[in-house]
């Protein structure tokens, strides 16, 4: 049974323009900092989507409990819309789904989002459910690997939902440059993928992972009394540059391929420096990462949901039957995940 991504669907909350966010809130929030102004202007983001626009409501003083209640109010609606759209795109009925996997690092509670979606979507009572939590920006790929393994083993369709509401975790005013960067980049999104054993789409061929635990402090996601707080070291691109080539060579080599055989690149747009590092390290032409740069510009970094948005963008640009696609994502650990996909159209 060959697992394929047969359908994708997304749901986005209200749009917020980057310049409006700076002028209407973050200029004062960061006390008119020149550094903050430069970071916001150079983030590569034109607009983002937020369930909590700070211009309209400032959550920076909210407790973590209050933020989790808000997640519980917002996430089921967006998740339902994304999964319903993906099912429609794949032409699959809800009763055909054997596994629902939900990945998020921005909200928790029990009964969880997976249980609520199973009910609202009318999924089968014998549905298998899996929750992937707190893995951060790379979570889409290990989750995709698990879903693909289920489809291959059982010959049944499955759904992966990546849903992140980063706007719920705005932090109190600070001079910390790492907080400035994260507040300039992150947005909200829900994106779902339907995998099916007998359909056209993107075949999940192989997945690779590499973790450099000597750099574990470079990217963190800490639970505090005032929401979740990101740590993002400027050394992250340098560490990724050391490992990208060997990981990619191993993934492609064991499948009889070279970098020149790859027709599409779906790279998680963690920020402009991350994309520049991938482009320079792998020797890619500028056009190769245009889908990732466009997603960054239109959505910001939506943590685990971002990579699926890039795949949507890549598919909209057109792939031919047999084209190979490499997906790359990065996150805490410091962890690098890579997936080899192949278009079957």
Q: 64-90 and 113-120 helices cross at what angle (nearest 10)? A: 40
Q: What are the structure tokens assigned to 318, written together?
A: 């057109």
Q: What are the structure tokens assigned to 188, written together?
A: 């909200």
- CA 62 from chain center: how many Å? 25
How much is the CA Rg of the chain, to the nearest whole Å? Answer: 19
Rounded to a whole number of angstroms, the distance between the first and last alpha carbons of the chain is 17
Q: What are the structure tokens assigned to 285, written together?
A: 């032409």
HSE, CB side, 13 Å, CA atoms: give it for residue 70: 19
Indicate the pairing of strand 262-267 with strand 324-331. Answer: parallel
- From 211, 161, 157, select the one nearest 330 (Cα to Cα): 211
Catalytic residue set: 137
* Continuous segment of H or E residues that includes residue 165: strand 157-165
Tell me the C-alpha distance between 308 and 75, whole Å.
Answer: 17
Neighbours of 33 (CB within 10 A): 18
Tell me the C-alpha distance between 108 and 110, whole Å.
Answer: 7
Query: Locate tokens 């992140």: which residue?
Result: 164
């Amino acid at each position: 049974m060959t697992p394929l991504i047969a359908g994708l669907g997304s749901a986005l909350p209200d749009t917020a323009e980057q310049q409006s966010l700076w002028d209407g809130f973050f200029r004062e929030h960061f006390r008119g900092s020149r550094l903050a102004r430069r970071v916001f202007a150079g983030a590569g983001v034109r607009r983002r989507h937020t369930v909590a626009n700070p211009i309209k409501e400032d959550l920076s003083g909210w407790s973590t409990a209050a933020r989790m209640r808000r997640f519980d109010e917002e996430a089921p609606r967006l998740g339902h819309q994304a999964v319903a759209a993906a099912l429609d795109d794949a032409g699959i009925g809800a009763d055909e789904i054997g596994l629902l996997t939900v990945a998020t690092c921005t909200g928790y509670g029990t009964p969880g989002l997976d249980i609520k979606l199973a009910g609202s979507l009318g999924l089968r009572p014998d549905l298998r459910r899996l929750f992937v939590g707190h893995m951060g920006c790379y979570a889409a790929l290990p989750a995709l690997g698990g879903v693909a393994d289920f489809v291959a083993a059982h010959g049944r369709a499955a759904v992966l939902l990546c849903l992140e509401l980063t706007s719920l975790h705005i932090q109190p005013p600070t001079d910390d440059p790492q907080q400035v960067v994260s507040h300039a980049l992150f947005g909200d999104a829900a994106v779902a993928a339907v995998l099916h054993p007998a359909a056209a789409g993107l075949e999940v061929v192989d997945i690779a992972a590499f973790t450099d635990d000597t750099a574990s402090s470079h990217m963190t996601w800490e639970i505090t009394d005032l929401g979740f707080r990101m740590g993002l070291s400027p050394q992250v691109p340098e560490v990724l540059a050391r490992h990208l080539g060997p990981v990619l060579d191993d993934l492609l080599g064991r499948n009889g391929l070279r970098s020149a055989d790859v027709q599409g690149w779906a790279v998680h747009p963690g920020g402009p420096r991350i994309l520049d590092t991938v482009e320079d390290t792998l020797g890619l032409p500028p056009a190769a990462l245009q889908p990732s740069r466009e997603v960054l510009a239109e959505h910001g970094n939506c943590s685990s949901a971002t990579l699926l948005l890039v795949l949507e963008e890549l598919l909209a640009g057109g792939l031919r039957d047999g084209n190979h696609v490499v997906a790359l994502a990065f996150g805490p650990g410091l962890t690098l995940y890579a997936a080899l996909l192949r278009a079957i159209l």
